[in-house]
Chain A
Amino acid sequence: MRAFAPAHAPPLAIATALVPLLVGLGCAACARTRPGLSEAGRVTVVLKHQPLWGDPAAFRALLDRFRRENPDVDLRAETLPNGSDVAREMFLTALEGGAQDFDVFAIDVIWTPEFARAGWLADLSKAFPPERLRRELLPGAAASVVLQGRTWAVPWYLDVGLLFYRTDLVPRAPRTYAELRAFAEEARRRDPSLAGFLWQGRQYEGLNCNVFEVIWGHGGALEQDGRITLDTKAAGAALDFLRGLLASGVSPRSVASAGEEESRRVFQEGRAVFLRNWPYVFALAQAEGSPVRGKVGVSPLPSESGEAGAGALGGWQLAVNAHAPPERIRAAERLVAFLTSHEAAVELALRYSRIPARRAVYDDPRVRTGAPFIASLLPAAMAARPRPVVPEYALATDAIQGELSAAVAGLRPPGEALLRAQRIIDRLESR
């Protein structure tokens, strides 16, 4: 597996590893295949998931409960590399090779359409009918797993883009972009060393989330009839707005090379008024010793019109390996049902601050008292929108990142960058 960790290998190894990697794809799976039935007719189910930060004991206890309730299942949990891109590369090669050494696996919300299209995900429509998911889950979460009327994965926990603000520097959360700018400029007049609005402008998937949110905030849509549409008026206005933030100094230049952590640190040190980021920031900013403890407010993102803006939907979903034999798929479905149940979601919210995909969990008294911050996220979670739910998105996202970054960095006018991105998307979709 070392060959899949490019950041750790010397350039020579990368160049030489790429080629044999491709040749090896075909037989990678045969070596890894393992019989599904262990001794005494018990079914082995392997769960692959990303590490849940925090004390692993609570998650282990959760898995033990499943083991007690399902004595016929021999459950084994394995953790994935933390980087989402690295995990995807691993799945891409393993699943293309027909790997059967895992049954339930956690996938990033944007991979579902792609993996489903490739035929790597078992159809879960029988065990988890789309209508039921739409009834029980938040709208964005349900939309991200249902494709062409069939269920391909079940949302495990969510992430959603939020606006963090300093309650001691601004009167209230801004509802419009104009308010955001005005509040930031006002605070900066009083203290010019402050950064106004921090977001993530580095060339990576997070940049797409940031830009998409502003496109939605300008009333735009990213999908039309199942195709990705970027070359729109709203998208042009969104990029103009972001460029304007940088040009006017409301956002510092460092935004163009910042990811989540870089921007979170600056905000937490008390050096910024506003921050767009994911919910994890709240616990860190309010932790003991944090300079902004007790001064952090959270709200949905602003928009042009003043309605609550939609945050990008992130998070992880549980899918079942289509290559697994039927009896393991059935056992795997039981595991997915258990891990995505109301009870498990309460546990994940309380122990790991994970945002629930189930609507009812936000009203659960245990969550309301034990994790009031999570309970307060319901409006933002309801408004969250998935990135384009089409298989081509995963193919095109890399090209989109490059063009959006070019626009944000001022290399190309927004209109031209969007046109170039659209051309690349159209070429991919026309295949």
Chain B
Amino acid sequence: MKPASDEKAALFVAPAVAVLGAVAVVPVLAAVWLSLHRSIVIFHEQRFIGLGNYRFLLEDARFWSALRTTAYFTAVAVSVELVLGLLVALLLVRGHGLLRAAVLIPWAVPTAVSARLWAWLFNADYGALHRLLPSVDWLGSPTAALHAAILVDVWKTTPFVALLLLAGLQSIPSEVLRAARVDGASPARAFFSITLPLLRPSILLALLFRSLDAFRVFDAIYVLTEGGPGNTTETLSIYAFKTLMRSGDFGYGSALAVATFLCVVAISLCFFRVLGRER
């Protein structure tokens, strides 16, 4: 290849690189820079304090509680979504196109709207779910509230997982399964020895998408409980948002945002490592 075409290629790539840099890299660096300052809007304070915010973060009980809540939410919600999504996908392989579209409805409803809807279902005076299980205080009890939020997330995103896995299922060549049947393999054996291993890349992809999304969960919980009762449903995003926008503490709020960002990067790296090995 001639060097001239290399230059041309660089020229063509430049706009994409510039846009990516402007909307992704620069803001992240700005947040990191801000997190090294004591910056409180109403006091017009903005001075460099190095790692002071991070030192406080390490001993901030509310941060650790938010991190625990977020990790628990992610682990439970994503596991349930994966199992349910796989079941739905297996049913849908034979399903009609219309059925597939219908399953997607929860995913298509804006989260704020569906969370409001669920808030009424959970309502301790009127809620249908409350009538069904009157002993559970869905949004008022510290232990139930987080699980209520997980339920909403599962309801909303299982269709998304199912769709991803459905695409994976459809890419499995049918002759492999037919050959297994000819060899006398039971359906269960065929599922565990053929379908599941071939579905692995799709499952990992679904896990990656969902873990990253679940870790940054904000809107569903914010609408349901605003982090209550007693901060038991407060995730990292909600804590960062409240610190930034309600308290106007931009320095510490940015430190929380950066901490969330680092967690998300760590999760991605783990997944990419596993995914990379697949290829």
Query: Which residues from A are CB-within-8-Å of B254?
Result: 22
| B34, B44, B244: the one within 8 Å of A119 (CB) | B44
Question: 8 Å CB contacts to A: which residues of B223-238?
Answer: 223, 225-232, 234, 237
Contact call B137/A406, Cβ cutoff below 8 A: no
Question: A303 to chain B: closest CB distance in Å?
Answer: 26
Which one of B4-12, B22-30, B163-171 is at the interface? B22-30
Question: A226 to chain B: closest CB distance in Å?
Answer: 15
| B110, B237, B250: the one within 8 Å of A22 (CB) | B250
The size of the chain A interface, using a CB distance under 8 A, is 60
Query: Which residues from A are CB-within-8-Å of B245?
Result: 89, 92
Q: B247 at the A/B interface (Cβ < 8 Å)?
A: yes
Question: A89 to chain B: closest CB distance in Å?
Answer: 5
Taking each of B31, B230, B232, B234, which has the highest tally of chain A beta carbons within 10 Å of its own beta carbon? B230
Contact call A15/B218, Cβ cutoff below 8 A: yes
Contact call B242/A22, Cβ cutoff below 8 A: no
Question: A346 to chain B: closest CB distance in Å?
Answer: 35
Given A409-B141, A409-B142, CB of A11 within 8 Å of CB of B111: yes
Given A117-B42, A254-B125, A411-B232, CB of A14 within 8 Å of CB of B248: no
Contact call B218/A411, Cβ cutoff below 8 A: no
Contact call A257/B140, Cβ cutoff below 8 A: yes
Q: B133 at the A/B interface (Cβ < 8 Å)?
A: no
Contact call A203/B244, Cβ cutoff below 8 A: no
Nearest CB in chain B to that of A114: its residue: B42
Query: Which residues from A are CB-within-8-Å of B243?
Result: 398
Query: Which residues from B are CB-within-8-Å of A89?
Result: 245-246
B-facing mask of A74-98, CB < 8 A → 1, else 0?
0000000000010011001000100
Q: B123 at the A/B interface (Cβ < 8 Å)?
A: yes
| A257, A391, A411: the one within 8 Å of B139 (CB) | A257
Rounded to whole angstroms, the CA-CA distance of A380 and B112 in the bound complex is: 37
Rounded to whole angstroms, the CA-CA distance of A9 and B110 in the bound complex is: 8
| A9, A20, A271: the one within 8 Å of B27 (CB) | A20
Q: A219 at the A/B interface (Cβ < 8 Å)?
A: no
Q: B155 at the A/B interface (Cβ < 8 Å)?
A: no
Q: B149 at the A/B interface (Cβ < 8 Å)?
A: no
Contact call B219/A15, Cβ cutoff below 8 A: no
Rounded to whole angstroms, the CA-CA distance of A422 and B68 in the bound complex is: 24
Contact call A254/B44, Cβ cutoff below 8 A: no
Contact call B42/A394, Cβ cutoff below 8 A: yes
Q: A408 at the A/B interface (Cβ < 8 Å)?
A: yes
Q: A191 at the A/B interface (Cβ < 8 Å)?
A: no
Rounded to whole angstroms, the CA-CA distance of A408 and B142 in the bound complex is: 11
Contact call B257/A19, Cβ cutoff below 8 A: yes
Query: Which residues from A are CB-within-8-Å of B44?
Result: 118-119
Question: 8 Å CB contacts to A: which residues of B27-59?
Answer: 27-28, 30-31, 34, 38, 40-45
Rounded to whole angstroms, the CA-CA distance of A19 and B27 in the bound complex is: 6
Given A115-B42, A203-B227, CB of A22 within 8 Å of CB of B142: no
Rounded to whole angstroms, the CA-CA distance of A266 and B124 in the bound complex is: 11
Nearest CB in chain B to that of A269: its residue: B125
Question: A56 to chain B: closest CB distance in Å?
Answer: 26
* Seed contacts A19-B30, A203-B230; 6 additional CB < 8 Å A-B pairs: A8-B110, A11-B219, A18-B241, A92-B41, A395-B248, A402-B227
Pick 5 A–B contacts, CB within 8 A, sort by A. A11-B237, A22-B34, A92-B245, A257-B137, A403-B230
